[in-house]
């Protein structure tokens, strides 16, 4: 089966074009392929696989699996790559189109690059952030089974909430961008932070009923953030588009960066620009690159 390897700021996935035919084996086949092919030693290597289909409520559909075979609702870097793929393939006549993922429809716009170029820049309307505790979701209405930390009430926001993780108290701000994120602001650039040690403990903490992605972020100034991320179901990745959006939202909620102006977020794999007005009903806009690495064919 033909595939295309693509990445957005180093967040790399294996893409399959299923606009004309279904993936072999249905959902179980997709899950098995994600586990097998994502392996960087015995497979193609990637943070997961993304299957591109014709949309039902949008122009196209993105079906995303993490490296462990679990489904994910949204991936900001992945959806930009889907946008580049359908644009390069000539599946869309214009530079603006829509992509759905698990019912959520996002609007994409190609802002730099022509069809077939190695790198394309796209802007994505990621929708309004979800801030209510039970919708993120985080534990609501009782103590955390893992730490005894009091949880928030239904309808509340989780801003600088104390959470005990492996004996250390962290202040977390939680946001969903279609998938759950816990943002931790630290006092230095995260290059030496123990993301791989702390990340999986956050991911599986009972405070997060559907597990969580965790961002460790240092705010350099009112327009600049440095960030590393631990993604549920995958581990540390070089970038996370939804996590970058969540981090900027969290920074605005805590008055650490300015609302209504682009904030540059430096990730291990590159930079993204995020903009949010600060009004809960308004969309978060993400701008960044998508790049084709190589194409090939693999047995699935």
Quick one: pLDDT at residue 142?
56
* Residue range 90-102, pLDDT digits in tens: 999 999 999 999 9
- In the predicted structure, residue 115 carries a pLDDT above the cut 70: yes
Q: Please give the backbone phi and psi of residue 73, each rounded to the nearest 5 degrees, phi first.
A: -75, -35
- In the predicted structure, residue 38 carries a pLDDT above the cut 60: yes
41: tokens are: 């030693």
Q: Can you tell me the distance from the alpha carbon of 241 to that of 188, in angstroms, rounded to the nearest whole number?
A: 22
Question: Which residues form the catalytic set?
Answer: 75, 240
Quick one: pLDDT at residue 152?
82
Average pLDDT over residues 231-245: 97
Q: Which of 8, 4, 38 is nearest to 18 (CA)?
A: 4
- In the predicted structure, residue 82 carries a pLDDT above the cut 60: yes
Query: Strands, DSSP E only, in the chain?
Result: 2-8, 11-17, 48-54, 60-66, 71-72, 96-101, 104-112, 119-125, 161-165, 168-176, 180-185, 213-221, 224-231, 235-237, 263-267, 270-275, 285-297
Quick one: pLDDT at residue 149?
52
* Residue range 128-143, pLDDT digits in tens: 999 999 999 999 875 5
Quick one: pLDDT at residue 146?
47
Instruction: Name the pLDDT band for 148 (thresholds 50, 70, 90).
Output: very low
Mean pLDDT of the chain: 95
Q: Which of 89, 117, 111 is nearest to 19 (CA)?
A: 89
> What predicted TM-score, i.e. pTM, was given to this entire model?
0.92
- In the predicted structure, residue 81 carries a pLDDT above the cut 70: yes
Quick one: pLDDT at residue 297?
97
Quick one: pLDDT at residue 143?
52
Instruction: Name the pLDDT band for 145 (thresholds 50, 70, 90).
Output: very low
Q: Can you tell me the distance from the alpha carbon of 235 to that of 226, in angstroms, rounded to the nearest whole number?
A: 18
Average pLDDT over residues 237-251: 98
Q: Which of 81, 82, 60, 64 is nearest to 72 (CA)?
A: 64
- In the predicted structure, residue 121 carries a pLDDT above the cut 50: yes
Quick one: pLDDT at residue 150?
54
């Amino acid at each position: 089966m033909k595939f295309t390897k693509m990445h957005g700021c180093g967040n790399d996935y294996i893409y399959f074009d299923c606009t004309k035919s279904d993936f072999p084996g249905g959902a179980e086949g997709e899950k098995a392929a994600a586990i097998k092919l994502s392996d960087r030693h015995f497979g193609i290597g990637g943070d997961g696989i993304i299957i591109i289909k014709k949309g039902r409520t949008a122009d196209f559909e993105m079906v995303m699996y993490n490296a462990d075979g679990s489904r994910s609702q949204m991936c900001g870097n992945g959806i930009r790559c889907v946008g580049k793929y359908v644009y390069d393939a000539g599946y869309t006549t214009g530079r603006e189109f829509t992509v759905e993922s698990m019912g959520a429809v996002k609007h994409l716009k190609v802002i730099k690059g022509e069809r077939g170029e190695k790198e394309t820049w796209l802007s994505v309307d990621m929708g309004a952030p979800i801030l209510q505790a039970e919708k993120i979701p985080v534990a609501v209405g009782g103590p955390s089974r893992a730490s005894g930390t009091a949880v928030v009430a239904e309808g509340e926001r989780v801003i600088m909430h104390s959470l005990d993780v492996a004996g250390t108290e962290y202040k977390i701000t939680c946001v969903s961008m279609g998938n759950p994120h816990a943002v931790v602001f630290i006092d230095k650039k995260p290059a030496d932070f123990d993301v791989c040690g702390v990340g999986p403990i956050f991911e599986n903490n009972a405070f997060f009923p559907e597990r969580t992605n965790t961002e460790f972020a240092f705010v350099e100034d009112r327009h600049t953030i440095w960030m590393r991320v631990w993604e549920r179901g995958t581990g540390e990745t070089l970038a996370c588009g939804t996590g970058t959006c969540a981090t900027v939202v969290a920074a605005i909620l805590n008055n650490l960066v300015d609302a209504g102006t682009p904030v540059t977020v430096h990730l291990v794999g590159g930079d993204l620009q995020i903009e949010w007005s600060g009004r809960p009903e308004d969309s978060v806009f993400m701008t960044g690159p998508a790049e084709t690495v190589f194409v090939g064919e693999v047995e699935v």
